[in-house]
Amino acid sequence: MTNLPGALAAASDAAPEATIAAFEARLIRVALTRPWAADVTAVGVIATHVVRSDGAEGWGFSWTPQIGAAAVHALLVHDITAFAIGRPADPGSEWLALWEHLHEAGGGGVTTIAMAGLNLALWDAAARAAGTSLTGFLGAQRKRVRAYGSGVNLHYTLDELVAQAGRWVEAGFDAVKVKVGGPDVAEDLDRLRAVRDVIGPDRALMIDANQRWDLDRATRSIDVLAEVSPAWIEEPLRADDLHGHIELSKRLAAASGIPLAVGENLHTVFRFDDFLRTGAAQIVQPNIVRVGGITPFLGIAAIAAEYGAALHPHLLPELSGQVALCLRAVSGVAEPMVEDVEDAGFGALGALLDDSPIRIARGSLTEVDHRGLGIRFS
């Protein structure tokens, strides 16, 4: 693995003699207060636990909203456990070898999601063994990070969407994100106008099409929706359509100038490099679990910094917020923002054994005193 920050080397120095003595995983379902669709009323979490040969313990997790949780659990229980036992326990040293080991089952997706279960547990164990939090272990660069209000809301009625926008304003967010991509772009525009009326002209309004358009429809739709001055357009095309994103980026640069954001469905450092190197995206949004854990996420952050692209982590604020606090500022590049989907945080859902390691208030995320990742599931 290349382009990883010095933090990984520091982790390797933490306890080089320790090995992985035991590893286990269990599948749980966390009910959602606000369903993300008629058939998405819970998310799948695979809670993991590692024990090192020096007695240090760590807790991590893998996550997938609807599809693949049982497959991820099976990979962790069988292939990843068999691979891990007896190997060095310093976080990051396992990643590339494990990715190569699992590659015949797929280079990303279920495999990298499963890999995060081991990687996160190893980072947690390392930080706990050092007597500190993840931010203390990596080195915090800021005391707070900006958060934006978000929701899985394309199925909301207009009244429900307007009410949600009002809650975001009341909560103090200065940036919000709304889903688009309905059958009629005119209806999308009506909904966005209503949200803009509620949030006012000074708050940032991002839009997310969740891969619903092809290139020509995306071009036409974004031209219409530019009226509400979107801060970015997220996933307008199929996530792996590199050439489509290159062409759309050129079209937008020549027209509205709205930046393209991608990443929640890209799964490796290598794929992020493809999109950034070719100018297919100006903003990247890696999901720490989907890319395989903290180790590859830090690599993606280093690549984004190299290309001068903004990075805003996707979902999971209890985890992504901590890592965002540790990302180094890049001259001329917006600092990371953390996504807070309404009523979807693990703490808010009552899924955690301990208090949440983070707090979001008045549009900012701050850390609460804890050890390691501070994320253990009840």
Q: Catalytic residues, which ones?
A: 179, 314
CA dihedral 100, 104, 106, 110 (to 10 degrees): -80
Alpha-carbon distance of 288 to 174, in angstroms, equals 24
Separation of alpha carbons 228 and 17, rounded Å? 57
Residue showing tokens 């949600």? 164
Q: Residue 369's CB: how many other CB atoms inside 10 A?
A: 8
Q: Is the dihedral of CA 235, 238, 243, 248 positive or negative?
A: negative
Sign for the pseudo-dihedral over CA of 26, 343, 125, 65: positive
Separation between Cα atoms, residue 79 and residue 12, nearest integer Å:
24
Q: In sequence order, which ranges of the chain are alpha helices (DSSP H)?
A: 6-14, 69-75, 81-84, 95-102, 110-129, 134-138, 158-171, 185-199, 215-225, 242-254, 269-277, 294-307, 317-324
3-state secondary structure of 73: helix
* CA nearest to 80, candidates 107, 56, 116, 52: 116
Contact in structure between 123 and 293 (CB atoms under 8 Å): yes
* Distance of alpha carbon 88 from the chain centroid: 27
Structure tokens given for 224: 């219409």
The count of residues in the chain is 378
Q: Beta strand pairing status for 175-179 and 204-208?
A: parallel
Cβ neighbors of 273 (< 8 A, separation 6 or more) are 303
In Å, how far are 14, 82, 186, 355, 370 from 137, measured between CA atoms? 10, 28, 49, 20, 12
